[in-house]
A = this chain, B = another copy of it.
Amino acid sequence: MPLPDPFLHALQSIFGDDVHTGMAERLAYAYDNSRLNAQPDAVVFPTEHTQVEALVCACRQYRIPLVARGRGSNTTGATVPVEGGVVASFERMNRILRIDPANRLAVVEPGVINGDLQRALAPHGLFWPPDPSSSPWCSIGGNLACNAAGPRAVKYGTPRENTLGLRAVAGTGEGFRCGTFTSKGATGYDLTRLLIGSEGTLALVTEATLKLTPRPSAIRTLRATYRDVGTAAQAVARIMGQPVTPCALEFIDETALKLAHAHAGNDVPLAGALLMIEVDGEPDTLDAAVHAVSAAARGEGLESLHVATTTEEAQKLWAARKALSPAQRTIAPDKINEDVVVPVSRLPELVLGIRQLAAEHDVLVVTFGHAGNGNLHVNLLPRDAAERERAQACLAAVFARVIELGGTLSGEHGIGRAKREFMPLALQPATLHLMREVKRAFDPDGILNPGKLLP
């Protein structure tokens, strides 16, 4: 259904000639890092808050779906315009408005690239903790929309722990500010955290005030290999059960190691499972920290434990983790990439459970990820149509197992289109009902990113 002419005129009055309805742009903004694909009817590139207000008002007036988009690096279809309408790409609204080292905060527009912000903060001795592996090309707005994190979250938290305030436009078309420029606040409801992780279904973020953290001056990298996934998972629980919290605690299973080894060669060890561990802090504290996490890493099943002594050696230790994504792509372009999370003590049961389910359903599954948070990437790698079908059944069984273990569907990818039908597994009807009511409060006409997050 083409967009009504008066609506297109409204868009032109906001964006001038910069309203794109041609096939090239519609194709370019039809997909994200999921396998989903649906063309928008128009693409616009806001650069100012007031444009976003006018855009939402116009979409509301004509009941046109509106999908906010960062750089489309999400894996759940959260930015695919499944009901058509307008894609608002924030890639040109990308100024770092203020870096305020004295108050440990930065004010940024949503299109700022995560990696660009980190580079701008480095001279001030500060960083913003969320570090998805897509940080060189993903945007802060997208990080906030999905509550996207990365390895450092185990010590430094996710966007919800590292954002002070937002400026945004609700589905009503009303612009508003929420949160504070201070590190503490108890002035009314926490709308800031409510928007973080809401995947563009409540409001479009136009500015964010981020909480910054002093960069630790030193870091140490350790690599431990284990006989099997069970003993490695037990080591994770031991490491997280002692006081020194690592700044990364990554897990890689045997199948993933084999793939990475085939792809990247002998820098990648073959083992039942591997842990990458990093600790950071002031230089004179690191010996004690390495000692503490090493002691916890030791135990049944440990086969090797290396501590890097140089930066080059540390990079070599990371070789396995870095080779994983390209290695998987070579064998299964249609990989299903999940990011379930369970309490850390239940990790051994989860990894063994996933093994059993992979065997039962005869699907190639690799698991790796942010084990310190109990957050595992469960990648199903179907190599043909029949395996793809079995993979869907296996996935449903994995989710059910995760919920049994006290976990939840997503640790950092969000729900998007891919997982919304599984939401009733994780959330009670009453909780879903309240979420729908909150959606209605912000977006009474349901124009913002329809068909996402809520089943």
| Residues on A facing B (Cβ under 8 Å) | 100-105, 125, 146-149, 153-154, 157-158, 160-161, 170, 174-178, 180-191, 193-194, 196-198, 202, 214-217, 237, 240-245, 281-282, 284-285, 288, 339, 341-345, 370, 373-375, 406-415, 423, 426-428, 430-435, 437-442, 453-454
Contact = CB atoms under 8 A, between A and B. Distances in A.
A240 B188 CA distance: 26
Contacts of A100: 343, 345
A117 to B, nearest CB: 19
A320 B345 CA distance: 44
Given A243-B214, A344-B102, A441-B440, A407 B190 contact: no
A220 B370 CA distance: 34
Given A103-B345, A184-B370, A184-B411, 18 more contacts: A170-B430, A174-B434, A176-B431, A180-B407, A182-B374, A184-B341, A184-B373, A185-B408, A187-B426, A187-B427, A189-B439, A190-B193, A190-B194, A191-B438, A194-B194, A194-B438, A285-B285, A438-B441
Contacts of A191: 194, 431, 434-435, 438
A188 B435 contact: yes
A314 to B, nearest CB: 22
12 contacts: A102-B240, A104-B344, A125-B243, A147-B185, A176-B428, A177-B427, A184-B373, A186-B411, A187-B427, A190-B190, A282-B285, A437-B441
Given A197-B189, A407-B181, A423-B188, A103 B343 contact: yes
A222 to B, nearest CB: 18
A84 to B, nearest CB: 24
Contacts of A345: 100, 102-103
Given A184-B412, A193-B194, A343-B182, A174 B214 contact: no
B243 A217 contact: yes
Contacts of A430: 170, 174-176
Nearest to A242: B214
A194 B189 contact: yes
B282 A245 contact: no
A5 to B, nearest CB: 30
A185 to B, nearest CB: 5
Contact of A196 (B190, B241, B370): B190
Contacts of A413: 186
Contacts of A181: 343, 406-407
Contacts of A411: 182, 184-186
